[in-house]
Amino acid sequence: MVHDDATWSPDLMAVLWVDRDRRNHVATSSSTRPGTPCEYLRWHEMEGGTERVAVSVPQPERAEMYYGCCAQIDMLNRCGQDDLKLEHKLRTHEWSQRVNISLLGVCIVDAWLLHSGARGAAALKQSKFYENLAGDLIDNSFDSVG
């Protein structure tokens, strides 16, 4: 869908792109011309079992542009909101506390991403990392003198 301004020039477009999940993109730039296809490894049922098969999914330029720069933000949000569930566990209606909880969540998720990038995600499960981090922060000696 394209919205035209008063001079009939396109100034806003909305694109719906579906791979596994439905994604809505509203943009003021780019186009729906074919972009670079996404390459994924997916499990497929074959005779005698399942195996990983490379799948190429065509995507428009708009989706390619978005995933080229915003995928990290989506990953951070998913780790903080879905995996950590900090906002669900510490319910608040006060905006300043909500901001502080969000910033704490960003710091915790960044610590996990640094750890998993340095040691590999298979070295320690994400939930166990959060549990160990909380234990170390409770029993710390960072502020002791001597």
Cβ contact 60:37 at 8 Å:
no
- Residue 98 domain-assigned (yes or no): yes
- Residue 96 in any domain: the answer is yes
The pTM of the full predicted model, rounded to 2 decimals, is: 0.48
- Is residue 59 included in any domain, yes or no? no
Q: For residue 29, tell me if it sits in a domain.
A: no
Report how many domains make up the chain.
1
Q: What is the pLDDT of residues 61-72, one digit of tens each?
A: 877 877 777 666
Whether 2 has a pLDDT exceeding 80, the answer reads: no
Counting Cα atoms < 13 Å in the Cβ hemisphere of 11 gives 6
- Domain of residue 124, residue span: 84-141
Q: pLDDT-derived band of residue 104, with 50, 70 and 90 as boundaries? A: confident
The answer as to whether 60 is a domain residue is no
pLDDT at residue 133 is higher than 80: yes
Strand order in the sheet with 2-4: 2-4, 10-18, 22-27
Q: Let me know: does 130 contact 84? Beta carbons within 8 Å.
A: yes
Residue 94 inside a domain? The answer is yes
pLDDT number for residue 112: 83
Question: Is the residue at 47 inside a domain?
Answer: no
Give a yes or no: residue 34 inside a domain: no
